[in-house]
Amino acid sequence: MTNYVIDPPAVTAVPVAGGGLFPVRRVFCVGRNYAEHTREMGGDPDREEPFFFMKPADALLINGADMPYPPKTGDLHHEMELVVAIGTGGRDIPEAEALNHVYGYAAGLDMTRRDLQGAAKKAGKPWDMGKGFDLSGPIGEIAPASHAGHPSAGKIELTVNSAVRQSSDLAKMIWSVPETISYLSGLVALAPGDLIFTGTPEGVAAVVKGDVLEGEIAGVGSVRTRIV
Ligand code: MN
């Protein structure tokens, strides 16, 4: 018999292709991990170490549900990303062992209130309210690495109302999945249930109510949401 004074929070869970649910602990996101996107955001892809920000676990939007247009923004952007699901935790994980810590992969969207993020950047303030708002992380089913393997190359694409908006290749990531896991595990101990959004390719742009976003990553799966 526990002694919680309020009900404990529900566990956010992402469906796994083939059955079962992946319980989510934390959601890490990599910033500027494709050179062309780094340039479109005004950065220099040759000079940056990887950096990370977070979304709350309950900011995920599961199973193709509609995404309500969020408050306090007039510039909601899509960022199509490969998501890594950590199955086994660890700290200071060597690159050569990093993939042994991966349960699987999913397609996800790091939805961004770009105006709030831009204002925060300019003021040297945290990005959290530009990135970690409610329902800001649509995510598709997780493909277990035991079946799907570990994708290091392959098409990553997003359409909005069936028109291609983002199209690139996982091989263009500046920091590979093993490098990202190794680097991040040197900053914090990774734990089972952690997700890592690995950054978006170029082509980020605004969406409006009524838009249908459909993303696909070769060999991994898809993500879909409609802005309402
Ligand atoms: Mn992103």
What counts of helices (H) and strands (E) characterise the chain?
6, 16
Q: Are strands 102-109 and 80-86 parallel, antiparallel or unpaired?
A: antiparallel
Distance from Cα 75 to the centre of ligand 1, integer Å:
15
Q: Note whether residue 61 is domain-resident.
A: yes
Kindly report the number of other CB atoms within 10 A of residue 59's CB atom. Answer: 19
Distance from Cα 81 to the centre of ligand 1, integer Å:
7
Q: Note whether residue 45 is domain-resident.
A: yes
Note down the domain range covering 135.
13-227
Q: Note whether residue 8 is domain-resident.
A: no
Distance from Cα 82 to the centre of ligand 1, integer Å:
10
Q: Note whether residue 133 is domain-resident.
A: yes
Query: Whole-angstrom Cα distance, residue 179 to residue 121?
Result: 26
The CATH number assigned to the domain holding 162 equals 3.90.850.10
Distance from Cα 223 to the centre of ligand 1, integer Å:
15
Q: Note whether residue 67 is domain-resident.
A: yes
* Predicted pLDDT at 5: 97
Nearest 5°: phi and psi at 198? -95, 15
* Predicted pLDDT at 46: 81
Query: What does each of the 228 residues of the chain score in pLDDT, given as a tens digit?
Result: 689 999 999 999 999 999 999 999 999 999 999 999 889 988 888 868 899 999 999 999 998 999 999 999 999 999 999 999 999 999 999 999 999 999 999 999 999 999 999 999 999 999 999 999 999 999 999 999 999 899 999 999 999 999 999 999 999 999 999 999 999 999 999 999 999 999 999 999 999 999 999 999 999 999 999 999
Give yes or no for a contact between 198 and 83, defined as CB atoms under 8 angstroms apart. Answer: yes
Q: Note whether residue 1 is domain-resident.
A: no
DSSP 133: -
Q: Note whether residue 6 is domain-resident.
A: no
pTM of the entire structure? Answer: 0.97
Q: How many domains does the chain have?
A: 1
Query: Whole-angstrom Cα distance, residue 32 to residue 4?
Result: 40
Q: What is the biggest distance separating any 2 CA atoms in the chain, rounded to whole angstroms?
A: 55
Q: Note whether residue 7 is domain-resident.
A: no
Distance from Cα 3 to the centre of ligand 1, integer Å:
39
